[in-house]
Structure 1
Amino acid sequence: MTTATPPPSRTRHKGRLFDWRLLVGVAVVGALLALSLATGVYDIRGADDGGEMFAITRIPRTVALVLAGAAMAMSGLVMQLLTQNRFVEPTTTGTTEWAGLGLLTVMILLPGASIGTRMAGAILAAFVGTMVFFLFLRRVTLRSSLIVPIVGIMLGAVVSSVSTFVALRTDMLQNLGVWFAGSFTSVLRGQYEPLWIVAVVAVAVFVVADRFTVAGLGEEISTNVGLNHNRVVLLGTTLIAVATGVVTVVVGNLPFLGLIVPNIVSMFRGDDLRGNLPWVCLLGIGIVTVCDLVGRTIVMPFEVPVSLILGVVGAVVFILLLLRQRRRG
Structure 2
Amino acid sequence: MLKINERKNTTAWKVFILIIFGVLLVISFFVSNSFGTMKLTNKDIIKAIFVDETGAKRQVIWNIRLPRTIVACLVGMNLALSGTILQGVMGNPLADPQIIGISSGAGLAGILILVVFPEAIHLMAPAAFLGAIGASALIYALAWKNGIKPTRIILAGVAVSALLGAGITTLMVFYSDRVHGAIMFMAGGLSARSWPHVKIILPYTIVGMTAAFVMADKLDILLLGDDVARGLGLNVERTRLILTAIAALLAASAVCVAGLLGFVGLIIPHISRIIIGTNHKYLFPASALLGGGVLMLCDTFARTIFSPVEIPVGVVMAALGAPFFLYLLRKVD
TM range (shorter): 0.7 to 0.9
Give the alignment partner of residue 278 of structure 2, picking from 271, 276, 297.
Answer: 271
Contact 1:67 1:199 in 2 (8 A): no
Question: Aligned runs of 1:172-321 on 2, under 5 Å?
Answer: 172-196=178-202, 197-321=204-328
Larger deviation: 291-300 or 16-25?
16-25
Q: CA RMSD in A?
A: 2.8
Following the alignment from structure 1 to structure 2, what is the Cα–Cα distance between the partners of residues 320 and 183?
A: 25
Q: 1:86 aligns with which of 90, 93, 116?
A: 93
Paired residue for 2:22? Answer: 26
Cα 1:180–1:287 change in 2 (3 A) is same
| Contact 1:88–1:149 (Cα < 8 Å) also in 2 | yes
Q: Does 1:123 align with 2:129?
A: yes
Question: Any conservation in 1 of the 2:93–2:328 contact (CA below 8 Å)?
Answer: no
More helix by share: 2
Task: Specify every segment of 5 or more residues in structure 2 that has no aligned partner in the other structure, as ranges.
Answer: 45-53
Cα pair 1:81 1:212 within 8 Å, conserved: yes
1:187 match: secondary structure = coil
Counterpart AA for 1:191: H
Tell me the secondary structure at the aligned position of residue 180 of structure 1: helix
Deviation at residue 67 of structure 1 after TM alignment = 0.8
- What displacement does 1:28 show? 2.6
Alpha carbons 2:33, 2:65 under 8 Å: kept:
yes
1:156 matches 2:161: yes
- Change in Cα spacing, 1:16 to 1:254, as seen in structure 2 (3 Å) is farther
What is the aligned residue count?
A: 316
Q: TM-score of the superposition, structure 1-length normalised?
A: 0.86
Identity over aligned pairs, percent: 23
TM-score by length of 2: 0.85
More deviation, 222-231/106-115: 106-115
Residues 184-206 of structure 1: CA deviation (Å, up to 9, x unaligned): 11211223221112132112111
From 57, 66, 73, the counterpart of 1:50: 57
Contact 1:15 1:275 (8 Å CA) reproduced: no
Offset, 1:269: 2.8
Q: Does 1:35 align with 2:31?
A: yes
Task: Name the CA distance, whole Å, in 1 between partners of 2:141 and 2:7.
Answer: 31
How far apart in 2 are the matches of 1:255 and 1:272? 25
Q: Are residues 191 and 261 of structure 1, via their aligned partners in 2, closer, same or farther at CA, if it must alter by over 3 Å?
A: closer
- 1:12 and 1:269 in contact (8 A); partners too: yes
In the other structure, the counterpart of 2:47 is none
Q: Which amino acid is the alignment partner of residue 157 of structure 1?
A: A
Determine whether 1:167 maps to 2:172.
Answer: yes
